[in-house]
Amino acid sequence: MNAGADARYLLLDVDGTLLTSGGEITARSRAALARAVDQGWTLVLASGRTYPSLWRVGAPLGLPFHAIANAGAVGLAPGLARVTYTNFLAPTLWPQIVRALQAEGLSVIVFAHRHPEPPLFYVESPRGHPHFEAYLGRHREAARTTPGLAEQAIADVVEVAALGSGPAFEKGSAQVLARFGDRSRNHSMVLFLSAQYGKITEFFDAGTSKWHAFCGMFPEAARHPERVIALGDEANDEEMIRTAGLGIAMGNATEALKAVADRVTTDHDHEGVALALEPLLGP
């Protein structure tokens, strides 16, 4: 597929793609994004992060960008001034997922949407797997300890997640992923925290994905995917990489993602974003 001349949307994952392993955006990547915006491309940052976290990453670019947060559950206009897309978990479904994860002994977080306020993170207890506690430590002001979590009437739930690592986490996650595979969009992927790797197992409404959110925000893009360039590295990027006119996997991407990509660039620590975009931007 040749999307170069027609591409007017840049759909860009953040962690493992735009950000280096040190959590930085290189000067060369910044310059490439600035050139794309100057040439009229619409920049869309798509992440599993919440929208305040995504804003902290994107605002220093000094460029207008649309945001897709929580892996496609929430879409926002530039400046996060307005919500343009949402897809919430059904109030009858998310408690079932919570109970199933808890039955496996996993540390669970329920994410609730509250724009323009920051989202809230509901947990049964602040104690759990070290990876879970490290995540809560980063978002202490948003966390709410709520005994009887699955019995609470929490509105606008965008995501249920479990955080951890090791064989027990992998086994428990696999059991619940299989159980709810036909009723939710779910996956388990690496999440880097506190100088070590752990994993996050996430559950969303069955219609949630970065690509679905993008098409909901930009209906014309759904009709003209050849105008979209997408870059990513993980399981929650697969649909956008596979469907965009030009899907580019990072060198550090999963093998499954590389298999569906049109191209593979270098990794996020070796200017993968810039090297992918510069040939498309011209001299």
Render each residue's pLDDT in the chain as its tens digit; 283 residues.
Answer: 344 456 599 999 999 999 999 999 999 999 999 999 999 999 999 999 999 999 999 999 999 999 999 999 999 999 999 999 999 999 999 999 999 999 999 999 999 999 999 999 999 999 999 999 999 998 889 999 999 999 999 999 999 999 999 999 999 999 999 999 999 999 998 887 755 679 999 999 999 999 999 999 999 998 999 999 999 999 999 999 999 999 999 999 999 999 999 999 999 999 999 999 999 998 8
The phi-psi region of residue 156 (left if phi > 0; otherwise alpha if psi is between -120 and 50; otherwise beta) is left
Architecture of domain 9-87+208-281: 3-Layer(aba) Sandwich (3.40)
Q: In the prediction, which pLDDT does 192 show? A: 76
Q: What is the pTM of this model?
A: 0.90
Q: In the prediction, which pLDDT does 4 show? A: 45
Domain regions of the chain by residue span: 9-87+208-281, 94-205
Residue reference for tokens 């649309």:
66
Task: In whole angstroms, give the CA distance from residue 31 to residue 84.
Answer: 28
Task: In whole angstroms, give the CA distance from residue 58 to residue 196.
Answer: 24
Residues 66, 12 contacting (CB under 8 angstroms): no
Residues 246, 4 contacting (CB under 8 angstroms): yes
Q: In the prediction, which pLDDT does 283 show? A: 80
Instruction: Count Cβ neighbours within 10 Å for each residue of 91-103 and write b for 16 or more, e otherwise.
Output: eebbbbbbebbbe
Cα angle 27, 51, 146; round to 5:
135
Scanning the chain, the segments in alpha helix (DSSP H) are 27-38, 51-58, 94-103, 130-138, 167-179, 210-217, 219-223, 238-243, 255-260, 272-281
Helix axes 167-179, 94-103, angle to 10 degrees: 150
Task: In whole angstroms, give the CA distance from residue 162 to residue 191.
Answer: 11
Annotation: CATH topology of 94-205: 3.30.1240
Q: Enumerate the β-bridge partners of residue 132.
A: none
Decide: helix, strand or coil at residue 187.
strand
Residue reference for tokens 């840049």:
10
Decide: helix, strand or coil at residue 11.
strand
Cα angle 51, 7, 19; round to 5:
40
Task: In whole angstroms, give the CA distance from residue 87 to residue 113.
Answer: 10
Strands 9-13 and 228-232: parallel
Q: In the prediction, which pLDDT does 1 show? A: 38
Residues 74, 85 contacting (CB under 8 angstroms): yes
Return all residues near 233 (Cβ < 8 A) that are at least 6 apart: 13, 15, 16, 17, 249, 250, 252, 253, 254, 257, 268
Report CA Rg, the chain: 18
Q: Which helix (H) or strand (E) holds 44?
A: strand 42-46
Q: In the prediction, which pLDDT does 3 show? A: 45
Percent of the chain that is helix, strand, coil (3-state, to 5): 40, 25, 35
Neighbours of 200 (CB within 10 A): 22
